[in-house]
Structure 1
Amino acid sequence: MIGKLKGLVDSFGDDWVLIDCGGVCYQVFCSSRTLQSLPRVGEAAVVFIETIVREDLIRLYGFSGEAEKSWFTLLTSVQGVGSRVALAILSVMSPAELSSAVALQDKAMIGRANGVGPKLALRVVTELKGKVPAIGAVDAGTLGLQAALGDGVAAGNVADAVSALTNLGYSSAQASAAVARVVAREGDDTATEKLIRLGLRELSA
């Protein structure tokens, strides 16, 4: 089983890259985020690999890190989410943003990906709730706040502050992370207005 490829970038396609490993070129299918993170043709690259074996094909999927690979495995465990759809989701969302969307049950964020309709987005956030990978995509304090928000148990002032920051254009991952840091310093009884003000300071730092 191939776990990781180290080699030189040979060429790129719309959704794949050829990695030259000692004269053998492997075609690796990737999210657009991973493709954009790779170096130029002729330069050294490392990609984490998930191998999909079926009766009619053997295909390698590549990822920039363990977190993205873990999310690919989780996403493809959801009924209706194949490899192509999983890569589409990972193309529009980072592992941290995906962790946040699942924790907050934010199906609209998942629905931004090509090929993901409202019903499938709802299935993704429902089936994956509580299954967020533990590979450092989001710090524990942030995940705790996101889980509280998603379960509807976060204090009203905290939930209102996160909502206000997302309405200002920040992602739910950014907003909840900023508010989590403020709450850790100031306490969860801090007034909403102060949470918003200090949250904005965190986001602009």
Structure 2
Amino acid sequence: MIAKLSGLVDTVGTDFCIIDVGGVGYLVQGSSRTLGALPGQGEAARLHIETIVREDAITLYGFATVAERDMYRLLTSVQGVGAKVGLAILSALSPTEVENSIAAQDAKSITRANGVGPKLAQRIVNELKDKVAGIVAASPKGVAVNGAAAPAASQAGIIGDAVSALVNLGYRPTDAHGAVVKAAKELGEEATLGKLVPAALRELSA
């Protein structure tokens, strides 16, 4: 099983690249985001690889970052999201944008990807919301409630309340969620709801 490739860039196409590793060229499928980040022909590159083995083929999918690879795995765990759709989503949105869209229940943002209609986008949001919520709740360490460190569930509640407040002010759910999570990380233990909303507003206006 191939997990990583380090070699020289031989060819870059619209949805694939060839990486020369010791004289052997590996054909790797990738998102436009990953392929666009590759260096020029003949230069050194490294890709994190997801290997899919089927009876008639062994296919390599490459990712510039571990975060992108992990989000790909998460997306393709949803029924109806195959390899091509997973790459299309990661071509249209960064892993962080996908995470924020799911956490904010913003299915419309995911329809920006080619081949993803409203029904599939909603299924992605519905099936992955709990998995993404666990990641988000754990990321802003020590969010405080009444001055005391809160458990993950309360952290998620504060984040949700702050996002709702920003959405009521007219901000898109995905943008609001991203700003709130970033503000919560910076505030740490001081991230009460009263401080979180103004801090997130500053992030949005930056």
Q: Does structure 1 conserve the Cα–Cα contact (< 8 Å) formed by 2:179 and 2:203? A: no
- Matched with 1:129 is 129
* Map of 1:154 onto structure 2: 160
1:141 is the counterpart of 2:147: no
Alignment of 1:47-196 (within 5 A): 47-132=47-132, 140-141=139-140, 147-148=156-157, 154-155=160-161, 159-161=164-166, 164=169, 166-167=171-172, 171-180=175-184, 181=186, 185=190, 187-190=192-195, 195-196=197-198
What is the CA distance between 1:202 and its match in structure 2?
3.5
Report if aligned partners of 1:103, 1:146 keep a CA contact under 8 Å in 2: no
Return the alpha-carbon distance in structure 1 between the equivalents of residues 107 and 50 of structure 2. Answer: 26
Q: State the 1:183 CA deviation.
A: 8.2
Deviations 1:112-134 (A, max 9, x none): 10000000001111111222398
Query: Given residue 117 of structure 2, which amino acid in structure 1 is its aligned partner?
Result: G
Matched ranges for 1:16-27 at <5 A: 16-27=16-27
Task: Give structure 2 stretches of 5+ with no counterpart.
Answer: 144-151
SS of 2:89's equivalent?
helix
Q: How many residues align?
A: 195
What is the identity percentage for the equivalent residue pairs of Structure 1 and Structure 2? 49
| Residues 86-141 of structure 1: CA deviation (Å, up to 9, x unaligned) | 00001111111111111111111111100000000011111112223988x99712
1:58 alignment partner AA: I
Tell me the TM-score normalized by structure 2.
0.80
- 8 A contact 1:15–1:29 mirrored in 2: yes
TM-align CA RMSD: 3.2
User: Are residues 133 and 89 of structure 1, via their aligned partners in 2, closer, same or farther at CA, if it must alter by over 3 Å?
Assistant: farther
Task: Give the CA deviation at 1:158.
Answer: 5.0
Partner SS state of residue 131, structure 2: coil
TM-score, structure 1 normalization: 0.80
